[in-house]
Structure 1
Amino acid sequence: MRKLILALAATVAFAGSAFAEPVRISVGSYNLNNLPFPVAAGLGLYEKEGLEVTVENFASGGSKTLQALVAGSTDIAVGFYDHTIQMQSQNKAVVGFVQLARNSGLVLAGGKNAAFDPAKPETIKGAKIGITAPGSSSDFFVRYYLQRHSLSADDVSLIGVGSGSAAVAALEQGKVDLLVNYDPAATFIEAKGVGKILIDARSDEGAKEIYGGIYPTAVLYATQAYIDENPETIQKVTNATVKALAWMNTHSAEEIVEKLPKEFISGDRDTYVKAVQNAKPIFSVDGKFSETDTQTPLAVLKSFNEKVAAASIDLSKTYTNAFVDKVTDKTTN
Structure 2
Amino acid sequence: MFSRKFIAAAAIVLVAAAAALAGCGQGAIVGSERRPVRISVGSYNLNNLPFFVADANGYFAEAGVHVRTENFAQGGSKVLQALVAGSTDVAVGFYDHTIQMQAKHKEVSAFVLLSRNSGLVLAGRNDTRFDPKQPQSIGGLKIGITAPGSSSDFFVRHFLSRHGIDENAVSIIGVGSGAAAVAALQQGKVDLLVNYDPAATLIESRGIGRILIDARSDEGARAVYGGLYPTSVLYAQSGFLQEHPQVAERIARAQLKALRFIESTPPEQIVAALPDRYVSGDRAAYAQAVARAKAIFSRDGRFVAADLQTPLAVLREFDRSVAGAKIDLDKTYTNRFVDDALAASSR
User: TM-score of the superposition, structure 1-length normalised?
Assistant: 0.92
| 2:48–2:115 Cα contact (<8 Å) kept | yes
C-alpha distance in 2 between matches for 1:268 and 1:228: 42
- Aligned residue number for residue 67 of structure 1: 81
Maintained 8 Å contact 2:111/2:333: yes
Partners of 1:265 and 1:56 lie apart in 2 by 16
CA distance in 2, matches of 1:110, 1:199: 10
Q: How does 1:273-312 map to 2 (within 5 A)?
A: 273-312=287-326
The corresponding residue for 1:328 is: 342
Structure 2 match to 1:108: 122
- After superposition, the C-alpha distances for 1:263-320 in whole angstroms (9 at most, x for unaligned) are 2211111001101111111111110111111000000110000000110000000000
- Cα distance in 2 for partners of 1:274, 1:252 equals 11
Give the aligned partner of residue 330 of structure 2.
316
Asked if 1:83 is matched to 2:117, the reply is no
Matched residues in 2 for 1:330 and 1:112: separation? 51
Residue 57 of structure 1 deviates from its aligned partner by 4.2
Contact 2:74–2:147 (8 Å) recurs in 1: no
Percent identity over the alignment is 62
Q: Is the 8 A contact 1:30 1:58 kept in 2?
A: no
Distance, in Å, in 1 between the alignment partners of 2:129 and 2:189 is 15
For residue 276 of structure 1, give the secondary structure of its aligned residue in structure 2.
helix
Deviations 1:72-101, CA, capped at 9 Å, x for gaps: 111111010001000000000000000001
Tell me how many residue pairs correspond in the alignment: 316
Structure 2: how far apart are the matches of 1:109 and 1:76?
Answer: 31
- Taking the aligned partners of 1:248 and 1:209, their CA distance within structure 2 comes to 26
Q: Is 2:48 the counterpart of 1:34? A: yes
Q: Which amino acid aligns with 1:262?
A: D
Distance in 1 (CA, whole Å) between partners of 2:144 and 2:75 is: 15
Secondary structure of the equivalent of 2:306?
A: coil
- More deviation in 200-209 or 112-121? 112-121
One-letter amino acid of the structure 2 residue matched with residue 65 of structure 1: V
SS at match of 1:96: strand
Output the CA distance in 2 between the equivalents of 1:177 and 1:63: 23
Judge conservation of contact 2:73–2:177 (CA < 8 Å) in 1. Answer: no
| C-alpha contact (below 8 Å) 1:128/1:178 kept by paired residues | yes
The amino acid across from 1:209 in the alignment is A
Question: How many angstroms apart in 1 are the aligned matches of 2:241 and 2:314?
Answer: 27
- Partner residue, 2:148: 134
1:194 paired with 2:172, answer: no
SS of alignment partner, residue 104 of structure 1: coil
The structure 1 segments of at least 4 consecutive aligned residues displaced by more than 2 Å after TM superposition are 17-22, 327-331
Q: Distance in 1 between matches of 2:272 and 2:201?
A: 19
Name the SS for the 1:171 alignment partner: helix
Conserved? CA contact 1:113–1:177, under 8 Å? no
Matched, 1:48 2:62: yes
State TM-score, norm by structure 2.
0.88
Change (3 A) 1:236 1:45: same
How far apart, CA to CA, are the structure 2 residues paired with 1:91 and 1:160?
A: 27
Taking the aligned partners of 1:280 and 1:90, their CA distance within structure 2 comes to: 34
Q: Tell me the CA shift for residue 140 of structure 1.
A: 0.7
Please, which runs of 5 or more residues in structure 2 have no aligned partner?
1-20, 29-35
Mean Cα deviation higher: 57-66 or 236-245: 57-66
Secondary structure of 1:245's match?
A: helix
Map of 1:11 onto structure 2 = none
Q: Distance in 1 between matches of 2:306 and 2:188?
A: 39
RMSD: 1.6
Contact conserved, 2:72 with 2:78, CA < 8 A, in 1? no
Worse-matched range after superposition: 49-58 or 199-208: 49-58
Question: What amino acid is aligned across from residue 49 of structure 1 in structure 2?
Answer: A
Q: Secondary structure at 2:66's aligned position in 1?
A: strand
Alpha carbons 2:95, 2:232 under 8 Å: kept = yes
| 2: CA distance, partners of 1:330 / 1:113 | 54
Tell me the alpha carbon deviations over residues 165-213 of structure 1, each in whole angstroms, 9 at most, x when there is no partner: 1111111111111110000000000011000001100001111111111
Aligned partners of 2:289, 2:344: CA distance in 1, in Å?
Answer: 26
Q: Which residue of 2 aligns with 1:222?
A: 236
Q: Check the 8 A contact 1:81/1:96 in 2, yes or no.
A: yes
Q: Which runs of 5+ in 1 are unaligned?
A: 1-16
Query: Is the 1:33–1:101 Cα contact (8 Å) retained in structure 2?
Result: yes
Mapped contact 2:250–2:341 kept (Cα < 8 A) = no
Q: Distance in 2 between matches of 1:303 and 1:330?
A: 41
